[in-house]
Structure 1
Amino acid sequence: MTRESIKKKYTVWIWILSIAIPVVVAILFSVKIPGVERLGFLPPIYASINALTAVLLVVALIQIRKGNRKAHERIMKLCILLSALFLLMYVAYHMTSDSTAYGGEGILRYIYFVILLSHIFLSIVVIPFVLITFVRALNGNFEMHKKIARFTFPIWLYVAVSGVIVYLMISPYY
């Protein structure tokens, strides 16, 4: 296979996953599994996964700046795995539980919704960025990987950190 045919194959999969993941998550939000106990223990776990992902993203950046490509690669694969695990737990929770309404008032309510809406929007936007960045590294196209990683990293880090902030702000209302 030529580099161009590999690129085309991955591009198709990146587009499919970038569209399918948010659509499937949105559909699953409307599905409630009857007879299954509420999975109320999951939010602090998946918030912790977000926090760990944020820390590991920073550690991975430090490792690549030190020239430790192998450690960077391992940590980034772990970040992708953690993000997938987060998504599975998040969907499982929402398939067994009603959404929790934020109960704060005043300026905090507006801050919460700004963070929440930006978190949701950027969590969708970051999917193709992560996939493209990852595929470029897998293909050894490190120059192009580095170019897009400059955009992917801050978006992914914001999504991870803002997820923790959203959890902390809504946790009193569970």
Structure 2
Amino acid sequence: MAKELGDNNNKVYLRIIYLISILIPLVVAFLILFPAKLSVGGDWVKMLPGLHAIVNSLTVVTLIAALVSVKQGNITLHRSFMFASLMLGVLFLISYVLYHSSVESVKFGDLNHDGLVDDSELAEVGTSRVVYLVILASHILLSILVVPFVLFAFYYALSDQIERHKKMVKFTFPVWLYVSITGVIVYFMIKPYYF
């Protein structure tokens, strides 16, 4: 009977992971592409991209600290750093959704801040726009793909399925680290085009 209850709980948790993994990119895409923006009072919302860069930087630090901790055999410290990384991810997601549901997206190369990148602006930014777009595309794609893997890795760790956890993080850790690092790079590349 206990095993059956455990199996039912596992199925519930797995369904939640799948649901979250599908809903996050759908909600983010809807909010970014939806023409009407929320009316969140104040210019403070425009400061959120800087917060995103700080959160991504802290995530890089906590992920590396978690790796060092587990390599040194300090599982308690490893768990603390991973929990911090997860909470930073949640903070980032909330802030990112708030920003993109309130403010029009900034375009790389939009020197006059009119929301368009014309031929003269394209000529001025040159190939840096292509580099930016490649980094941004890989960042966005991998950030969407890594969500279920992060959630499964946490689930396996918390449910004491350590071997499955180890297999999962061999892929998940470097991708999550890449997403966090490229988040900072993307911010600094597009920062000159913010208002």
TM-score relative to the length of structure 1: 0.95
**Is 1:170 paired with 2:176?**
no
For residues 64-92 of structure 1, give each alpha carbon's deviation from its aligned partner in whole angstroms, at most 9, with x where no partner exists.
01000000001101101001101111111
Write the mapping of 1:59-98 to structure 2, written as runs, cut at 5 A. 59-98=65-104
Contact 1:37 1:96 in 2 (8 A): no
RMSD (CA atoms): 1.4
Aligned to 2:28: 25
CA distance in 1, matches of 2:28, 2:129: 25
Structure number with greater CO (CA < 8 Å, separation at least 6) is 1
Moved more, 121-130 or 23-32: 23-32
Partner of 2:54: 48
What letter matches 2:99 in structure 1?
A: Y
| Deviation (angstroms), 1:35 | 6.1
Q: Secondary structure at the match of 2:125?
A: coil
Task: State the 1:26 CA deviation.
Answer: 1.4
1:102 and 2:105 correspond? no
Question: Runs of 5+ in structure 2 lacking a partner?
Answer: 110-123
C-alpha distance in 1 between matches for 2:161 and 2:40: 49
Shift of 1:123: 0.6
Cα offset for 1:5? 3.0
Q: CA deviation at 1:131?
A: 0.3
Counterpart AA for 1:162 = T
Q: Distance in 1 between matches of 2:156 and 2:144?
A: 20
Taking the aligned partners of 1:157 and 1:57, their CA distance within structure 2 comes to 7
Distance 2:73 2:57 in 1: 25
Task: Measure the CA separation in 1 of the matches of 2:50 and 2:19.
Answer: 30
Matched, 1:10 2:10: no
Q: Which has the larger radius of gyration?
A: 2
Q: Which consecutive residues of structure 1, in runs of 5 or more, have no partner in the other structure?
A: none
Quote the offset at 1:6 in angstroms.
3.1
Q: Normalising by structure 2, what TM-score?
A: 0.85
More deviation, 4-13/48-57: 4-13
Alpha-carbon distance between aligned partners in 1 of 2:51 and 2:17, rounded to the nearest angstrom: 28
Deviations 1:47-69 (A, max 9, x none): 11001101110110000010000
